[in-house]
Amino acid sequence: MTTSTQSIFSFLPPSLQSLATKMTSLHFVVTTLFVATLYVSFCNLVFEPGSALHVSTYTVTLLGKYLCYALLALSVDLVWGYCGILSLGHGAFFALGGYAMGMYLMRQIGDRGVYGNPELPDFMVFLNWDSLPWYWAGSDSFIWMAVMVVLIPGLLAYVFGSMAFKSRVSGVYLSIMTQAMTYALLLAFFRNEMGFGGNNGLTDFKDILGFSLQSDTTRIVLFIITAVMLAIGYAISHYIVKSKMGRVVTAIRDSESRVRFVGYKPENYKVWIFVVSGVLAGIAGALYVPQVGIINPGEFSPLNSIEMVIWVAIGGRGTLYGAIIGALVVSYAKTRFTAIMPEAWLFALGGLFVLVTLFLPKGLAGLAPQLIAKFKRSDSAKAADTADTKSEVKS
């Protein structure tokens, strides 16, 4: 690892070289994020539209969305890549975080809704409700809802995790159960009686903390906050993974029963890593909603959750930066594909599932070392080949 980094940075002056080799993946990711965010924000705000260097607000929002996905991918990787828990229901945590934020944004509309009711969101007026349901209490306070963004997904993860892991449900069973969980939530949130806007979900947001969601500045700020949260999320995950806890978790992935005989309680570790992951996913959802302007039950659909898994699979599970790369690459591909030929996207996605599991078990992050190794081998093989041909020619 160190040697390859050295060789990569060999073009740099010695002082920078030593700095580069000391950099861990954490520093690298955070620095890249920082530079990219700075660049995008600067280009959006300073250069006029039409200038070659201008980055449109649309692009900024799109990038913000990708960063939310990256944070989400990080949370999936934490449980799947490191702990071997394949969750097919992480969309549930994401959506719950999103709904918590959506509720706050709904209340920010105030009397500007179609029905002009200062208390009730439009859909409640439409359903002839005369007061807010109890669980909407406090939804006009940003602080309270920010707490909910963390608390609700965390609580769900804790309850689900403790039940599942304590009774030693694992492997495919667990995956299907997580899928059933998000499916049940999907059905539930489709119901108007749930009080979350039913089919249409929550939308038509106007302001966040008094700033208009339509303004460029708000969007840039949201983008920057997302980048910062991603960096923090990355740092937290990095710390966990590199701590002894991370090693216990990896050990659980490889041989859960052995961990038990060493004296650790794998179920506790699994529950807590699941909770951390659920909370990260919830935060990603909360950041996602103000940027895309809508949250509806579709976010709970099992297909969404499984798409997150493919981000991680393609990026490379078990490496945190791999998850981020995967989320960015696949989301970008999806944006391009659905714009050019929407039909082909599901073919491509399905194909990716099959190809990655068959040929790229370590994902893109594992591809680079593999390719380098192959390249070296084929180099030497080529050398041998040429030597052979030369000798043939001579003879």
Partner 1 sequence: MLRICCLLLCMLLPCNSFAESTASNPELTSAISKLPKNSLRELPKLIETIEATESPKIKTILTSLLNGDLYYIRANKQVVRVVKNTEGLYDQWHILTDEQYPAVTKSKLKKIRTNNSIRGQIKSVLALLDLSHKDPSVRLEAVKRILDNPDKESTARLKKRLAKESDEAVTQTIQVAISVAALKFGSLEEQIAAVSVLAESLEPAANNVLSRTKESLTEKTAELAEGETLSAQEKTLQTAVNKALDKIEQKRDIYSFAENLFFGISLGSVLLLAAIGLAITFGVMGVINMAHGEMMMLGAYTTYVIQQMFPELINYSLFMAIPAAFLVSGLVGILIERGVIRYLKGRPLETLLATFGISLILQQLVRTIFSPLNRQVQAPDWMSGSLEINPIFSLTYNRLYIIIFSLAVFFALMLILKKTPLGLHVRAVAQNREMARALSIKSDWVDAITFGLGSGIAGIAGVVLSQLTNVGPNLGQSYIIDSFLVVVFGGVGNLWGTLVAAMSLGSMNKFLEPLTGSVLANIIVLVGLVLFIQKRPKGLFPQKGRSAD
Partner 2 sequence: MIATTGTTTPPKQGSPILAEENINPDTRHGVILYVEDVSVSFDGFKALNDLNLYINDGELRCLIGANGAGKTTLMDVITGKTRPDVGKVSFGQQVDLLSLSEAEIARAGIGRKFQKPTVFENLTVFENLELSLAGDKGIITSLFHKLSSEQKDRIAEILKTIGLTPQEKQLAGALSHGQKQWLEIGMLLAAQPRLLLVDEPVAGMTAQETERTAELLTSLAGEHSVVVVEHDMAFVRSIARKVTVLHQGSVLAEGSMSEIQSNPDVIQVYLGEEQG
Query: What residues make contact with partner 1 under the rule CB under 8 A?
Result: 86, 163-164, 167-169, 171-173, 175-177, 179-181, 183-184, 187-188, 190-191, 302, 306, 309-310, 313, 343, 346-347, 349-354, 356-358, 361
- Residue 262, interface with partner 2 (CB under 8 A)? yes
d(CA 148, CA 151): 5
**Ramachandran class of 51: left when φ > 0, alpha when ψ lies in -120 to 50, beta otherwise:** beta
Max CA pair span of the chain:
98
264 binds, among partner 2, partner 1, none (CB under 5 to 8 A by kind): partner 2
CA triplet 136, 142, 145: central angle to 5 degrees? 45
> Binding residue for partner 2 (CB under 8 A) from 190, 264, 332, 353?
264
**186: closest CA among 346, 305, 331, 353?**
305
- Residue 235, interface with partner 2 (CB under 8 A)? no
Q: Which is nearer to partner 1, 289 or 356 (CB)?
A: 356
250 binds, among partner 2, partner 1, none (CB under 5 to 8 A by kind): partner 2
Report in angstroms the alpha-carbon separations of 253 from 80, 246, 248. 9, 11, 9
354 binds, among partner 2, partner 1, none (CB under 5 to 8 A by kind): partner 1
In Å, how far from its chain's centre is CA 30? Answer: 16
Minimum CB separation of residue 224 from partner 1 in Å reads 34
Minimum CB separation of residue 255 from partner 2 in Å reads 5
353 binds, among partner 1, partner 2, none (CB under 5 to 8 A by kind): partner 1
Instruction: Determine the straight-line distance between the first and last CA of the chain, rounded to whole angstroms.
Output: 43
86 binds, among partner 2, partner 1, none (CB under 5 to 8 A by kind): partner 1
Whether 182 and 305 have beta carbons less than 8 Å apart is answered as: yes
Minimum CB separation of residue 158 from partner 1 in Å reads 14
Minimum CB separation of residue 304 from partner 1 in Å reads 13
Q: Which is nearer to partner 1, 20 or 251 (CB)?
A: 251
> Binding residue for partner 2 (CB under 8 A) from 243, 370, 378, 389?
243
- Residue 148, interface with partner 2 (CB under 8 A)? no
d(CA 315, CA 330): 9
Minimum CB separation of residue 94 from partner 1 in Å reads 19
Q: Which is nearer to partner 2, 112 or 247 (CB)?
A: 247
183 binds, among partner 2, partner 1, none (CB under 5 to 8 A by kind): partner 1
Minimum CB separation of residue 313 from partner 2 in Å reads 18
Binding mask 182-221 for partner 2 (x = CB under 8 A): ----------------------------------------
- Residue 261, interface with partner 2 (CB under 8 A)? yes
133 binds, among partner 1, partner 2, none (CB under 5 to 8 A by kind): none
Looking at 60-68, 90-98, 243-251, 295-303, which segment touches partner 2 (CB under 8 A)?
243-251
- Backbone torsions φ then ψ of 86, nearest 5 degrees: -85, 100
- Residue 258, interface with partner 2 (CB under 8 A)? yes
Looking at 19-27, 37-45, 247-255, 374-382, which segment touches partner 2 (CB under 8 A)?
247-255
Task: Say which residues have a Cβ less than 8 Å from residue 133's Cβ, sequence separation at least 6.
Answer: 195
- Residue 260, interface with partner 2 (CB under 8 A)? yes
Kindly identify the residues of this chain, within the stretch 271-310, that bind partner 2 according to CB under 8 A.
272
Compute the residue count for the chain: 395
Kindly identify the residues of this chain, within the stretch 44-73, that bind partner 2 according to CB under 8 A.
none
User: Residues in the site for partner 2, rule: CB under 8 A?
Assistant: 240, 243-245, 247-248, 250-251, 253-255, 257-266, 268-269, 272
